[in-house]
Amino acid sequence: MPEVVHSRRVAAPVEAVWSVLSDFAKLADWAPMIGHSSAMTETCDGVGATRRVAVNNSVLLERVVEWEPEAALAYELDGLSPIVASAVNRWELTADGVATLVSLTAVVEPGPNPPMRAVAAVAARKIGATNKSLLACLAAEVEKTGADG
């Protein structure tokens, strides 16, 4: 199962990082590579919350599967190639003094056939590249907000 992990130290407390991440439907507000994001469920705070995300020429539904305030947020990505059985992004936050260590892991489950494993590895690398950008955008947003506030 391909997995790609990116981590970064963000110069802001866990509470500030969580505040941005947990505003689940507002992804496009701080990640310029996201063309659009919107809530698909009545609430967007907790397991089951779903958002619609447009990135490049793709539209994905992202459904929260883990919600641990100020510690972890994970969501399934639906709308990828049918060759990918499933994909999950998981954010993990760890206090580091007045800063936060943020880790973003993409896990891609391939379909049952060997060629599907190769495609899943490619998908994991592509998701990982987007995730690296998301991590940088999150850091910029949180650090900017902290400097403005």
The CATH code of the domain at 3-148 is: 3.30.530.20
Name the percent of the chain lying above pLDDT 70: 97
Rounded-to-integer distance, Cα 20 and Cα 38, Å: 15
**pLDDT tens profile 64-88:** 999 999 999 999 999 887 778 899 9
Q: The pTM is what?
A: 0.91
pLDDT band for 149, please (50, 70, 90 cuts): very low
Query: What are residue 9's DSSP bridge partners?
Result: 101
